[in-house]
Amino acid sequence: MSKLHQKGAPSRQALVLEKLFTSLDRRDHEAMAACYHPDAVFRDIAFTLRGRKQIHAMWHMISESDLRASHTIRRIDGRAATVELVADYTFGSTGRRVHNVIRSDIHFMDGLIIQQLDSCSALRWGVKALGPVKGVMSWIVPGTRRKLAMRMLEKFVGRHPEYA
């Protein structure tokens, strides 16, 4: 489900965003990957990824979860957009339910996403995903959270040689 706050016909960038976030809700990683420029950069509280292939691997891994997502495009112009994403899923390693509100700042090049910077409350996310003690620790020591996330992605890529 999405809401687009824009007058007139949707721009090329708006269509890319709609495709990206509706594909996320459908867990269609192939369609999501097609929204990114080959040299794209993605960063959130867990990952710093470079290139469409690495970003695709992350979305493929996430698409194997029970994720449900909705979004609202808050601002968009020819080169940049801000999207509010709401993601609900079960965090795999703990089985805990997560409701995460994310701000996604996106930049475009050649009609595709060249940079996506996602931000949310790392403390709120940690407590929901990991429980109170580990959640606070993941907030205090973000390097550990990032290292564990990258390890999960590396294991996933090990099982999917198309991303190596």
Confidence tier at 46 by pLDDT (50, 70, 90): very high
In this prediction, residue 2 carries a pLDDT of 47
Residues 6+ apart with CB under 8 A from 114: 36, 37, 39, 40, 41, 107, 108
Of residues 6 and 163, more confidence is placed in 163
**15 has a pLDDT exceeding 60:** yes
**143 has a pLDDT exceeding 50:** yes
Percent of the chain's residues with pLDDT above 70: 95
For residue range 80-112, list pLDDT tens digits in order: 999 999 999 999 889 999 999 999 999 999 999
**31 has a pLDDT exceeding 60:** yes
Percent of the chain's residues with pLDDT above 90: 91
3 state SS of 41: strand
Confidence tier at 7 by pLDDT (50, 70, 90): low
